[in-house]
Amino acid sequence: MNRRTLLHQFSFLAGALSLPQLGQAKSTTPQKPFRIAHITDVHIMPLIGAAKGFSKCLEHIQNLPVKPDLIFNSGDAIMDAHRGGRSVAEKQWKLWNEVVSKELSTPIIQSLGNHDIWVKNESPQAILDGKKWALDELKEPKSYFSKDLGLWHLISLDSISPNNKGKWYTGKLDEEQMDWLEKELDSISTLKPIMIVSHIPILAACIFFDGNRFEKNQWNIPGRWMHEDASQLKDLFLKYPNVKLAVSGHIHLLDRVEYNGITYCCNGAVSGAWWAGNYQQTQPGYAVIDLYPNGHFTNTYINYQS
C-alpha cells in the first residue's frame, strides 16, 4: 500500500530503531550537546487514536533518560487541512492544541507542512492566507526563521511554494526566502555549525522507493516530494562548510544521505502510515538529535510505541 492509496482512504474518513551514528562520531572529549527531539508528520485527527498516539509520543520524549532541550515540529501537524472544509481543519487544529497544551512541558518551535495549509482555492494568495492561519495555530510568527541552539545555529525553511505550472504546491524556496537564506548564511560566523530544517527533503534517497517511481526507462520524482531547487541549495551550501546537517520529514520514510560534507536525514513520521502502523519498513517515531559544541552530531530514530 503506497502513500496515494492511504491518503485517499483517509480523505473519505473526513523501543528504538536507530540509524547507526547518523552524522559524525562523538568527540572523545566529554561535551554536553544541545539535544533536540525532532517530530514530524503527526497528522493528528479525531479518528483512530491519533490524539492518544501523539500523547504517547510526547510522553516518551519527555521521559527520556536525558531529556531534550527543545522539540522541533517540522510540519504536517494535522491530518489534512486542504482536503476538507474549514470546519474540518478547525477540528483538527483544536485537537492538536488540546494535546500540546495538556501533554507538553518542553519548549517547542514549529514550521509548516503542506497538510497544515487550508485553502478555499489553490491560488498563490490563498496559499499565503492558509499559511497565516496555520502559523497562528502553531503560535509561530513567520514561516521561516533562524535562531541559536547552544553553540549551533538553526535555520528553518518554508518548503511549500505555489505550483505555478500545475496545481496546489511544490517544494522550493520563493525568491524572497532564497535571498533571506543567502544573507543569513553569510552573516553567521564560520565557527558556528549550522543545522537546516525543512518539511520537504532537500535531498533524499527514500523518495525513490515511495510507490512506483520508475517508469518508461526513467525515474520520476515529483517536485512536491523533494526540493525543486535542490541543485541551487547544494551550490549555496558549498560556500559554507559550517552547514553540517539538514533534516526533514514529509515522506514518512527514514534515510540518510551524505553529500559534499553535509548529512541529510529524512526522519520518518510520528504517525507512521497515517496512524495505520508502519509505512513500508519505517516505524512510527521521532529523532533525537544531539548537537555537540565541536560541530559533531548524532541523529537517532526512536520508535516510541515499543
Q: Which residues contact 197 (CB under 8 A, 6 or more apart)?
A: 38, 72, 74, 111, 154, 155, 156, 157, 246, 247, 248
Which grid coordinates belong to 35?
539535544
Closest residue by Cα to residue 17 from 262, 260, 278, 222? 278
Domain ranges of the chain: 32-302
* Amino acid occupying residue 172: K
Which pTM value belongs to this model?
0.90
Tens-level pLDDT at each residue, the chain (306 residues): 555 555 545 444 443 444 434 444 444 445 899 999 999 999 999 988 999 999 999 999 999 999 999 999 999 999 999 877 899 999 999 999 999 999 999 999 999 999 999 988 888 888 999 999 999 999 999 999 999 999 999 999 999 999 877 678 999 999 999 999 999 999 999 999 999 999 999 999 999 998 888 888 999 998 999 999 999 999 999 999 999 999 999 999 999 999 999 999 999 999 999 999 999 999 999 999 999 999 999 999 999 997
Say how many residues make up the chain.
306
Which grid coordinates belong to 114?
503542506
Closest residue by Cα to residue 70 from 106, 42, 33? 106
Pick the CATH number of 32-302 from 3.40.50.12280, 3.30.420.40, 3.60.21.10, 3.30.365.10: 3.60.21.10
